[in-house]
Structure 1
Amino acid sequence: MSLLSFLLGEKKKTASVAKERLQIILAHERAGRSAAEPDYLPALQRELVAVIGKYIRIDPNDIKVQLERQDNLDVLEVKIELPEKR
């Protein structure tokens, strides 16, 4: 090990860094699955209303966001009731 590499630290390979980050994210997600409803769902619903509201007038109550567990999968269900054309 050279003095320069010791002082600057050795660069890790991009793939190994990405793998470590993914493992951290997965561990965090698995730890948070015990909650019945994740805390990001209300924020997601508000953001959907804001984005769709840029294009059409919509009632915030016409968007429903729900997270369900089916077997080993988490299913995010988004129901949007659009107004009828006039």
Structure 2
Amino acid sequence: MALLDFFLSGKKSTASVAKERLQIIVAERRRSDSEPHYLPDLKRDILAVICKYIKIDPDMLHVQFEQKGDDISVLELNVTLPDADDHTK
């Protein structure tokens, strides 16, 4: 029934909007607390290596770290490459 209420409800109260925003902020902080301290430096170094070969916007590089259990860590790297004719420096 809550899903139906979500779609049928009119305006949300200010308190519920504030609560949802706070939940998003807390979730983001928890995620960043679990990331290793070296992740920003790693992202900068990866960007420098890629830029040696292809000119990309730094916002087109996304590095994400995820801890899956005690013994598995996943480092995800997403790079949006420019069109073939836009890659020269």
TM-score, structure 2 as length reference: 0.53
**Partner amino acid for 2:55?**
R
CA offsets 1:33-52 (integer angstroms, 9 cap, x no match):
xx411111100110011111
CA-CA distance at 1:70 after TM superposition: 2.2
Say which one has the larger Rg: 1
Q: Root-mean-square deviation (CA), in Å?
A: 1.3
Structure 1, gaps ≥5 residues long: 1-34
| Aligned residue in 2 for 1:59 | 57
| Aligned residue in 2 for 1:38 | 36
**Partner amino acid for 1:85?**
A
Report % sequence identity.
Answer: 46
Q: For 1:45, what is the secondary structure of its paired residue? A: helix
**Is 1:78 aligned with 2:66?**
no
TM-score, structure 1 as length reference: 0.55
Mapping of residues 16-31 of structure 1, within 5 Å: none
**Structure 1 segments of 4 or more deviating over 6 A?**
none
Structure 2, gaps ≥5 residues long: 1-32
CA offsets 1:7-46 (integer angstroms, 9 cap, x no match):
xxxxxxxxxxxxxxxxxxxxxxxxxxxx411111100110
Q: Which has the higher helix share?
A: 2
| Aligned residue in 2 for 1:48 | 46
Q: Following the alignment from structure 1 to structure 2, what is the Cα–Cα distance between the partners of residues 65 and 59?
A: 14
